[in-house]
Structure 1
């Protein structure tokens, strides 16, 4: 019975591989699976016949598989494992005495002839040796070191504040995410321990939208931390102890049409004309998910009624259409020169009648509108007259802007016009400003320059990240005011921030064609010479836990329309890589302005995008919740779109790991010094396995002058410290929830340096939700 069951298993595997392999060949893919299926069927036939040749045939299958796998992917364990795991286990099964005793034959004289196990034993042993060797190798690891010497003795940090404070989202208006504190070093960071922990009480609710996330980076001013929560509470904490000072609930309510339920930060302002200690002399501005901006007294959380309408600025003003839940500000506004400058997130792919993406500057004391820049009407920036409206669905800025007050410019990362995947009927202005970095005059809002990162964007390649400002030494040794702009497609634009001209060259390369008849594609697309854009996916990049789901992914890759980066959306379904999450997202990158180096976290996840004709879209359900994955309706447009990650039948990425790295770049040379897998599958699998695969992440890094970079972000629940010079992990702290926020660092009056991260999880990547604020420090 055992031999027949074994033969049946081999036969079933052979039929599955043979049928799938034949389909793959018809689609133009690898012949291996069909040939392997034939090998399994032949082995099954010989097992049924109790022929010892079954062992030899299967030895040939193992050797052929091993040779094919090494030819395809080299000695990469994470790629070799799925190709050979099942095959080697079955080889070990065939070597069991209980199987071998049932093979061979007995002569008429009664003498038993048993098959030789030597060929199969050698094949299995060779495979095990190759597997063991590959576990010691990482052909994708890029080892190197960033320069340690200071490139300048007087770096421009972009803001005037005590070294131990953190006044804006990226610490200063430059968005560098750099702390000039140096108490924590590569030598002592391993001793970091939790100093205090605080729970906000704002937890994810059963009726929350899918992307309910906690992405806040707190501010630190003197002895107080200021932060917000996903449901738009503002909280002040004692920086030394984590004790709550005050809490304010904006009562922003719930709305299933919100695509995001999050808050990345509050904004701080000290009125220079106010008497110190007087009411609202210092303020915290809280953006809410029901499109309000609320001014609070930083001392006690009370509303500052002198601002706007009794303390509340209503951001829906001037919108032609105002569907509830479709527009709000998820990122902290910019505070500069007596102004508060606000962008807004407009829901992707909901409707052709949504709010405008206008950027507005208000008087920070009164809330009066000073200027407005609408990318659909960019030449008129004077305040919108009563009774007029901004351009519907114009490209919006949902991320954080940066400011250079000396140049008088604000640098705005812009998204795409909704619907993201449909480019017909876009205006000349929309075509110019979509998916770009725009420099606006702080005084008037007038455009000073624009640098577009995607032409005729059909892929939701918003510029998602805050541009980072620093000075980079030029060829003559003189500092050049620079901007580093990370993009979803993996390009890092390094520009002269005075003019928008490239410091690191930008080229135009041919792009795929084949848009739907009503639309078109740009013939070329820009690419920076400093890019983390991955090479195109091929069959050998397909992955799975076993060869079966890997085969399924290979078949699906061939079924999708895919011609590399910028393959246009289609009715059959297109592969979008880099995908909608992007190589870089809102977490941006961190720079050390003294060493003029950068630390970042490129992530790689392919997505699929399939257009759906309007007639095939079902009526909207009452229980639908906002989401960027699944069916996006595009009400009013001729097509909706179904999109999401490119996953195997088992729900894991179809592309092989690593899916996430950390990297270090020398910004003076534009060269990548190192690139290492980041994160483990500890929280991705039923068992807490510590395998360092290199996992996806969303969030951002922070650098300290002590030479240590800090990052949470990965989908395993850890915050890690890295040696900025080499990228080596020096320390990790286990988090009680997902760490998809950007950490920050500050010091108290006694000189103690803290590292702080908020751990609350991220709905889109499925990390554990929570409400934790955790501060770490060195032991006394």
Structure 2
């Protein structure tokens, strides 16, 4: 009976190894035909041979398999080096199968055959040589694997410099313990001068209060990208925030108690691509308002295209604003009105006299969308002062009734920055949709597309612009708020602008004139595109760049060697010649993808140390053009056809091509490229040197098994820095808020969140004198992180 079970076990094992080998032979042969690695084909042949030897009960099967283990190890080290996750993907199946081959139901029948064939006494070593050889090979593989646990090839070690410049006296216009704008002030630094929380005590942070808004995604009419991305403001002892469905809430900053709530009664049946609110804006009037007028105002952009003015004291509408309506209508003079198809998802810019508004336009839906015009209104009355339209940039005086702005012109959906001393607002622009087809863009549109533009506060005229992508065909919108900081260069103070981009550049420019402070070079990029399209011959690259190395077949990854093989096949089937490979009919690998190395969360800068804390993310995407035969058929929606008023994304009605866009993932849903996919990194803004860089975050909330493997995961939501030498971040795909030492990047503390933290934190001082860290955890629709409605304040333990 026992012998029968062993024979059966041997037959089953041989069959499984044979089927695995056959799969590798077929897939490996396909890969070789595509110009990829020969390893899989060779390994498949070895496995088939091993299967045949096992079925004949030959001990040589173990010798052959030992050679396969050693060969796999050598090939893995040659391709990936001493890096655990790439090694694991290459060797996991081979190692586990090898362990099974050492089981008694395999080795005893083989040993019995060896003894019977010998016909004479043989040494134990000779009889068991195959087992010993395989054991030694697996032991070596295990030794190398364990050694790789202590190696992080991508890690950069170093220390950022200390204080090099003192803050100017007028930098204290905003009290140190407050946060008056999305980036704390109009400069967009995301830096707080508070010092109570330090690298020595941050690990003592505890929850001080926890508020739930009651607003989560999942209502009828919600688009996939219904997200809670708000960074609250703190003025006096009040916090002000908005929710995805446009509620505005005021809280007591010290206790978290709700003070008031305003519901804007947003119009229904909206053509929404995104439903979010990244923040409200605050303005305190410098004049003496008439009786009944608001002494200060909160400005709330709504999904139906309004900006409402609210009284911070009680949440009532400021009726004197907007010609007695209490709001301005962003649809005035707009072409192709489609409620929900345009609104400001980001907080508006506020100066002493102006309210400056951009907005998001439906992306890759049609060529008949509304305008991306930038408009400035009187901050006290809501009267239009000027408008700047990238499609008609010379005319900035308000349009007369009945006239329209340029349809489909580049828009600014992200956050702008302002320098009132220099008299300029700095606007990050996207490109004209459709993103992947640009043959019909006008000269004016081409000039300003995917640029940061400095507009004159007085007139709205463009003072300068810097284009981050020429003829953008990759959805490389300028996604993040520019950070304004004064840098010491060659002993002189230079007013700088630091612009993060989706492709990984940090352009460091003189914000007076747009000239590069750190060198920018134009590099040749891949050419050859579809008929009728054109390409820029070069693209700009900054001396401070987080652009990843180009992908190769060796960079493909998977949970097992089988899905890694599938990813390699997919990689070689796509068109890819490095960054800026143009869109194609067969499919193009876009890396970095349009998720962005940096996105709307941006970066944080320290004006005293003149350094930046960044969160680079690396994900590849696939872009495939689909010819359109008519202007009505849905070519790319498949089963995900929009409901009700939701738009048909990526159909590009009116253009010759629709586009299929997706992350480059395996059949298991994992990225096809090897981890890490996300980092934290510190850089010196005066030299352009990346001083330290560490992988960041775990897969505990994004893998089938909740295992806290620190693989480095994507981030969406920005960091903040403090004068206490600590940076905070909550936007990783795992549900944690973390603290880091700014000097060397070491993680100092973390706290579990109830949902995805895809928002930028902030910090302030409460009425009790404690420094608070405020985190919003609401999840993100397209990332699939857990939805929530949580606002959580942390503080050091009270001394009372």
TM-score interval for Structure 1 and Structure 2 normalised by the shorter chain: over 0.9
Q: TM-score, normalised by structure 2?
A: 0.95
Cα distance in 1, alignment partners of residues 58 and 448 from structure 2: 71
Query: For the structure 1 residues 256 and 364, does the alpha-carbon distance in structure 2 shift closer, same or farther, using more than 3 Å as the test?
Result: closer
In the TM superposition, residue 686 of structure 1 has moved relative to its aligned partner by: 3.3
Q: In structure 2, what is the equivalent of residue 342 of structure 1? A: 357
Cα distance in 1, alignment partners of residues 451 and 510 from structure 2: 15
Cα distance in 2, alignment partners of residues 690 and 229 from structure 1: 30
Q: In structure 1, what is the equivalent of residue 672 of structure 2? A: 654
Q: In structure 2, what is the equivalent of residue 445 of structure 1? A: 460
In the TM superposition, residue 618 of structure 1 has moved relative to its aligned partner by: 2.8
User: Which of 700, 707, 724 is equivalent to 2:718?
Assistant: 700
Q: In structure 1, what is the equivalent of residue 727 of structure 2? A: 709
In the TM superposition, residue 291 of structure 1 has moved relative to its aligned partner by: 1.0
CA deviation digits over 1:243-273, x for unaligned, max 9? 0000011122554631111000001111122
Cα distance in 2, alignment partners of residues 108 and 504 from structure 1: 76
Secondary structure of the corresponding residue to residue 458 of structure 1: coil
Contact 1:403 1:409 (8 Å CA) reproduced: yes
Aligned-residue CA RMSD (Å):
1.9
Cα distance in 1, alignment partners of residues 648 and 581 from structure 2: 19
In the TM superposition, residue 751 of structure 1 has moved relative to its aligned partner by: 2.1
Secondary structure of the corresponding residue to residue 254 of structure 2: coil
Q: In structure 2, what is the equivalent of residue 39 of structure 1? A: 46
User: Which of 8, 11, 16 is equivalent to 1:9?
Assistant: 16
Query: For the structure 1 residues 518 and 158, does the alpha-carbon distance in structure 2 shift closer, same or farther, using more than 3 Å as the test?
Result: farther
Cα distance in 1, alignment partners of residues 117 and 602 from structure 2: 78
Query: For the structure 1 residues 684 and 299, does the alpha-carbon distance in structure 2 shift closer, same or farther, using more than 3 Å as the test?
Result: same
Confirm or deny that 1:19 pairs with 2:26.
Answer: yes
CA deviation digits over 1:70-121, x for unaligned, max 9? 0001010011001001111111111112211111425389779844211111
Aligned residues: 778
Q: Equivalent residues in 2 for 1:387-536 (5 A)?
A: 387-475=402-490, 477-536=491-550
Q: In structure 1, what is the equivalent of residue 173 of structure 2? A: 160
Q: In structure 2, what is the equivalent of residue 122 of structure 1? A: 136
User: Which of 718, 724, 744 is equivalent to 2:762?
Assistant: 744
In the TM superposition, residue 51 of structure 1 has moved relative to its aligned partner by: 0.7
Query: For the structure 1 residues 578 and 403, does the alpha-carbon distance in structure 2 shift closer, same or farther, using more than 3 Å as the test?
Result: same
Query: For the structure 1 residues 586 and 71, does the alpha-carbon distance in structure 2 shift closer, same or farther, using more than 3 Å as the test?
Result: same
Q: In structure 1, what is the equivalent of residue 571 of structure 2? A: 557
In the TM superposition, residue 702 of structure 1 has moved relative to its aligned partner by: 0.2
Confirm or deny that 1:204 pairs with 2:217.
Answer: yes
Q: In structure 2, what is the equivalent of residue 242 of structure 1? A: 256
In the TM superposition, residue 631 of structure 1 has moved relative to its aligned partner by: 5.9
Contact 1:156 1:470 (8 Å CA) reproduced: no
Q: In structure 1, what is the equivalent of residue 164 of structure 2? A: 151
Contact 1:177 1:590 (8 Å CA) reproduced: yes
Contact 2:364 2:649 (8 Å CA) reproduced: no
Contact 2:363 2:649 (8 Å CA) reproduced: no
CA deviation digits over 1:332-372, x for unaligned, max 9? 00001211000000111011000100000011122111000
Query: For the structure 1 residues 109 and 209, does the alpha-carbon distance in structure 2 shift closer, same or farther, using more than 3 Å as the test?
Result: closer
In the TM superposition, residue 697 of structure 1 has moved relative to its aligned partner by: 1.0
Cα distance in 2, alignment partners of residues 614 and 159 from structure 1: 57
CA deviation digits over 1:147-204, x for unaligned, max 9? 12x1112357856111001001100110000000000000000000000010011111
Secondary structure of the corresponding residue to residue 196 of structure 1: strand
In the TM superposition, residue 283 of structure 1 has moved relative to its aligned partner by: 1.1
Confirm or deny that 1:282 pairs with 2:296.
Answer: yes
CA deviation digits over 1:522-544, x for unaligned, max 9? 01111111100011100111000
User: Which of 84, 104, 116 is equivalent to 1:107?
Assistant: 116
Query: For the structure 1 residues 108 and 593, does the alpha-carbon distance in structure 2 shift closer, same or farther, using more than 3 Å as the test?
Result: closer
Contact 1:158 1:173 (8 Å CA) reproduced: no
Contact 1:194 1:775 (8 Å CA) reproduced: yes
Secondary structure of the corresponding residue to residue 440 of structure 1: strand
Cα distance in 2, alignment partners of residues 625 and 22 from structure 1: 44
Cα distance in 1, alignment partners of residues 237 and 182 from structure 2: 17
Q: Equivalent residues in 2 for 1:510-659 (5 A)?
A: 510-615=524-629, 617-618=633-634, 624=642, 632-659=650-677
Secondary structure of the corresponding residue to residue 109 of structure 2: coil
User: Which of 287, 295, 304 is equivalent to 2:309?
Assistant: 295
CA deviation digits over 1:253-309, x for unaligned, max 9? 554631111000001111122469965211111101111111111111111111115
Secondary structure of the corresponding residue to residue 63 of structure 2: helix
Cα distance in 1, alignment partners of residues 189 and 521 from structure 2: 26
Cα distance in 1, alignment partners of residues 132 and 552 from structure 2: 36
User: Which of 48, 61, 81 is equivalent to 2:88?
Assistant: 81
Greater mean alpha carbon deviation, residues 611-620 or residues 539-548: 611-620
Cα distance in 2, alignment partners of residues 40 and 385 from structure 1: 77
CA deviation digits over 1:521-567, x for unaligned, max 9? 10111111110001110011100000000000000000001110001
Structure 2: runs of 5+ lacking an equivalent: 1-7
Q: TM-score, normalised by structure 1?
A: 0.97
Contact 2:165 2:609 (8 Å CA) reproduced: yes
Query: For the structure 1 residues 82 and 109, does the alpha-carbon distance in structure 2 shift closer, same or farther, using more than 3 Å as the test?
Result: closer
Contact 1:680 1:716 (8 Å CA) reproduced: yes
Secondary structure of the corresponding residue to residue 173 of structure 2: coil
Q: In structure 2, what is the equivalent of residue 180 of structure 1? A: 193
Contact 2:365 2:648 (8 Å CA) reproduced: no
Cα distance in 1, alignment partners of residues 585 and 541 from structure 2: 27
